[in-house]
Amino acid sequence: MVLYEVYERDETRINREREGIRELAATNKVQIIPPTAHPIPPSAVSQTAVEVVKTLTRAGHQAYLVGGCVRDLLLGRQPKDFDVATEAPPERVRELFRRCRLIGRRFRLAHVRIGRDVIDVATFRAAPGPSDGSDHDGARRSVTEAGQIMRDNVYGTIETDSLRRDFSINALFYDPIEETVIDYVDGFRHLERRELVSIGNPFERFREDPVRMLRAIRFSESLGLSTPDDIRDTISELGNLLHHVPPARMFDEVLKLFHSGHAQEILAKLRSFGLFRFLFPFTEESFVDDTVSLAELGSRNTDQRITDGKPVIPAFLFACMLWEPMRADIDKLVEKRVPYRKALVTAMDDILRDQSQYVSIPKRIGFVVKDIWLLQDRLEYRSHRSVTAALSHKRFRAAYDFLLLRAEAHEVARELADWWTRIQEVEHHDQNKMIKAINIRPRNTRNEKNMRNGRNGKNSRRRRKRVRAA
């Protein structure tokens, strides 16, 4: 392979690299933390990731574990995934592993599959630099006029790679062969002190990639880190850049934010920094000062489920976030004499479509959101037939959990929620008795809670268009 002749396929070169890092350590440019000085037990490291590192090393390439997994291991947490960084270019990685796929346009990555595990293998990135031309397909790096990096496939060294990461605690490398932590950015000390430190000036770094602001909030809340003023000030200043982030990327980030186990604090932080409105503008508008919203109750409920080790689904989160603005739309339509059922269907479609301009909601998730909402009617306005149908619906459990939150928000009677709790607990025979005893209540087409709060139809569709244009 002519292309790869530059790589000597023996370990002497790797040893030389290690020697090079040690020399740098002597100049304080890099710190190498020996196994005796850090708490990572080798047994906590994914054996698959170690295998990937060993294969790359044997082939003569530097390779380390990097990023979130090293941070989490140092904190004694179980990493969600293990990432490897290497100097081998993606095409070389593909040669070395039988089951390997190259993915990504913005950042080119290799997905290496071993058994059931998938390890992301990224090639060391180069120091930031200008675009190498317009955003044509051949461009390896492309930067917008606003400074946002759209593509970045220029390769570098372990040191430049480290400096390209967002926060110092995320820029640590772990060498599973020597069991050392390699640190170019003082991240080890920052982690010990529980400090979130931006690598480089946060103003530039957040302009380069506005998602880093959301990551800053997530890490500070979920890891209990202090956030210095420069980061806080910059977030307050640059929040509106989140407008430029593609909705699909926002979707991934929203899930990480609200499924972190710290959704409640994160929601409050996002709002206090004025960022929440860039994620869920209609929800932000629907908040009423002295009432607790479904968004807040949903966040608290999600945190509790994660603490209890129960599963969480994205659809439940979106159902909670968008419920109140969707209800306001129904009111507006009903006021215009649109029949309730039609108003409901229209409002559901409208809110999901409009929200997707900010945070995309994949269709399969949108369907579940709608199921949860549609079932609310069956749970609220019980008839003999609808109870049986609701109980056997595959989304019953989520819809019932949702009803409990609505009861907490005083949107439906506590007794109604209790009735649904009870009917799941009793024997079939007693279920029938309960169903027979239902006092069928006609539907009240108004959204009583909204009427009480004097904010009927605040989120009209016309208003929503204005928000988007702003």
Which residues are part of the catalytic machinery? Answer: 81, 83, 166
Binding residue for ligand ATP, selected from 12, 28, 80, 307, defined by CB under 6 A: 80
Q: Which region, judged by CB under 6 A, interacts with ligand ATP, from 53-61, 164-172, 320-328, 351-359?
A: 164-172
Task: Give the separation between CA 134 and CA 139, rounded to whole angstroms.
Answer: 7
Q: What part of residues 279-298 is at the interface with ligand ATP (CB under 6 A)?
A: none
Residue 167 forms beta bridges with which residues?
198
DSSP letters spanning 271-315? HHTT-HHHH-HHHHHH--TTS--HHHHHHHHHHHHHHTT----HH
380 binds, among Mg ion, ligand ATP, none (CB under 5 to 8 A by kind): none
Q: From the list 166, 284, 329, 331, which residue makes contact with ligand ATP (rule: CB under 6 A)?
A: 166
Q: What is the DSSP letter of 413?
A: -
CB of 46 vs Mg ion, minimal distance in Å: 12
Question: In the numeric block, which tokens belong to residue 397?
Answer: 């459990």
- Judged by CB under 5 A, the residue of 68, 89, 281, 298 near Mg ion is 68
18 contributes a contact to ligand ATP by CB under 6 A: no
Phi, psi of 211 (to 5 degrees): -60, -25
- Find, among 85, 60, 68, the residue nearest to 1 by Cα: 60
For residue 22, CA distances in Å to 8, 31, 32, 197 come to 21, 8, 8, 25
Stretch that binds ligand ATP, among 126-134, 163-171, 278-286, 350-358 (CB under 6 A): 163-171
Measure CA 150 to chain center: 20
Task: Decide if residue 83 touches ligand ATP (CB under 6 A).
Answer: yes
Compute how many residues bind Mg ion; rule: CB under 5 A.
Answer: 1
Closer of 68 and 298 to Mg ion (Cβ):
68
Please list every residue from 296 through 315 that binds ligand ATP, using CB under 6 A.
none
Rank residues 258 and 282 by Cβ distance to Mg ion and give the closer one. 258
Query: What would the x/- binding string for ligand ATP be over residues 178 to 217, using CB under 6 A?
Result: -------------------------------x-xx-----
Asked if 256 touches ligand ATP (CB under 6 A), the answer is yes
Contacts by 268-272, CB closer than 8 A, 24 or more apart? 269/217, 269/220, 269/221, 270/214, 270/217
Q: Given 3-state DSSP classes, what are the helix, strand and coil percentages for the chain, each rounded to the nearest 5?
A: 55, 10, 35
Residue type, 24: L
Residue 170 in the binding site for ligand ATP (CB under 6 A): yes
Which residues contribute to the site for Mg ion (CB under 5 A)?
A: 68
Which residues contribute to the site for ligand ATP (CB under 6 A)?
A: 67-68, 80, 83, 165-166, 170-171, 209, 211-212, 256
